[in-house]
Chains A and B, each alone.
Chain A
Amino acid sequence: MMKLEDYKVVFASLGLIGVLLFASPTLGLFLHLPGGEKFSEFWLLGPGHMAEAYPFEVRAGENYMVYVGVGNHMGSSAYYLVYVKFRNQTEPLPNATAETPSPLLPLFTYKIFLEDGGTWEQPLNFSFHDVSFKDDRCLVGNLTVNGITLNVGKPALWDSENKGYFYQLFLELWIYDEASRDFHFHNRFVSIWLNMTTPI
């Protein structure tokens, strides 16, 4: 049989648990449990909204489309920039190890505001114009991105190993940092390789 002192401990414990339960609505305003991992999603899908059938063999005058998307899991609303950039094989990509963006200038910018848990997706239409081939060199004169035509004047040399004039369309994700009041590269980028071919 339990002693009276033992029952006293049981009652005191019940009292303490009850007080904590009744105080929990107030304590909940001050105590915050650590949330999950904070991250952003960044994706590029083909024209069928699938990770397939990406444009590869491209030529001047034809329109191509991919879908670009961003997902926010940063724990609060976020302000993103997506920079669309275009390079040949000799120009630098972003450096994922050093977390630095490509120094190339953006051709097109998306500005996106997302609540925590929100996603955004938009089509990215592009086409090439004034493309010329001479000897073992290809020159892309103009690139149109979402209706905006820019003079890029981008050369590419014939890649004898992979047999093609290769370019890369890539997109960088940047995020607004409230502390520094500026955007910084979010160390995420997506890209597609393009092989420029002669018109039929």
Chain B
Amino acid sequence: MPFNAVASDEASLVISEANNKLKMAFEAVLDAEKAGANVSDLIIQLNSAGVLLAEAENAYRVGVFSEAVSKAEECSMLADGVMGEALQLRDSAIVNAQTVFWHNLMFSIFEGAAFLFVIFFVWGWFRRVYVKRIVNMKPEVVSDDEA
């Protein structure tokens, strides 16, 4: 009985640790996703870790503590790997987002300025044509005679 009690406590601790690591790994994946990274591969890995943790918890419920510990440890390792990859993905996504931002900003400024210049040029040409047309118009004389 004492052996089982120790094993149960140990298993509970390892499962709890794996649970926390999985939560942290998921949060890291969410951060990477918010930064614009493609997290499909990481979600697949998280699911594998989730299956392991669920198996660990199910083994714990039926009292197979050694299996619970080994599955939970496997889950922790997988979660650690996912977290590392997620942080890398997030960092590269942030760099990519900054590049895209500056590219878009330059595009907006230069293309917008070029467009305004063209519009201004066309407006100048149009005004000259308009004024010339008005000046060249023949005046019409309207009679004041009463009917």
A interface residue numbers (CB < 8 A to B)? 4, 7-8, 11, 14-15, 18-19, 22-26, 28-29, 76-77, 79, 107-115, 118, 146, 148-150, 176, 178, 181
CB distance from B130 to the nearest CB of A (A): 6
Q: Specify the main secondary structure of chain B where it touches its partner.
A: helix
Cβ-defined contact, A15 with B104, below 8 A: no
Cβ-defined contact, A25 with B107, below 8 A: yes
Supposing A18-B116, A22-B107 touch, asked if A114 and B54 sit within 8 A by C-beta, the answer is no
Cβ-defined contact, A23 with B115, below 8 A: no
- Beyond the given pairs A18-B112, A25-B104, A150-B62, 6 more chain A to chain B contacts, judged by CB atoms under 8 angstroms and listed by A's residue number, are A7-B127, A23-B112, A26-B101, A76-B34, A111-B53, A111-B54
Supposing A7-B130, A111-B53 touch, asked if A18 and B33 sit within 8 A by C-beta, the answer is no
CB distance from A178 to the nearest CB of B (A): 6
Interface check B58, CB cutoff 8 A: yes
Q: How far is the CA of A7 from the CA of B101 in the complex (A)?
A: 36
Interface 1/0 per residue, B52-65 and A, CB below 8 Å: 01100111011000
Give the interface residue-count category, chain B.
35 or more
Selected contact of A148 from candidates B53, B58, B101, B108, CB within 8 Å: B58
Supposing A18-B119, A22-B112 touch, asked if A11 and B33 sit within 8 A by C-beta, the answer is no
Supposing A77-B39, A148-B58, A178-B30 touch, asked if A15 and B119 sit within 8 A by C-beta, the answer is yes
Chosen A-B contacts, 11 in total, with CB atoms closer than 8 Å, are: A7-B126, A11-B126, A18-B112, A19-B112, A25-B104, A25-B107, A29-B100, A77-B33, A118-B43, A148-B59, A181-B27
Interface check B95, CB cutoff 8 A: no
B interface residue numbers (CB < 8 A to A)? 22-23, 26-27, 29-30, 33-34, 39-40, 43, 46-47, 50-51, 53-54, 57-59, 61-62, 97, 100-101, 104-105, 107-108, 111-112, 115-116, 119-120, 122-123, 126-127, 130-131
Supposing A26-B105, A149-B62 touch, asked if A77 and B30 sit within 8 A by C-beta, the answer is yes
Cβ-defined contact, A23 with B108, below 8 A: yes
Cβ-defined contact, B27 with A178, below 8 A: yes
Cβ-defined contact, B108 with A22, below 8 A: yes
Q: How far is the CA of A27 from the CA of B26 in the complex (A)?
A: 30
CB distance from B97 to the nearest CB of A (A): 8
Cβ-defined contact, A15 with B115, below 8 A: yes
Cβ-defined contact, A148 with B62, below 8 A: yes
Supposing A18-B116, A26-B104 touch, asked if A77 and B29 sit within 8 A by C-beta, the answer is yes
Supposing A4-B130, A77-B30 touch, asked if A11 and B61 sit within 8 A by C-beta, the answer is no
Residues of A within 8 A of B26 (CB): 77, 79, 113, 176
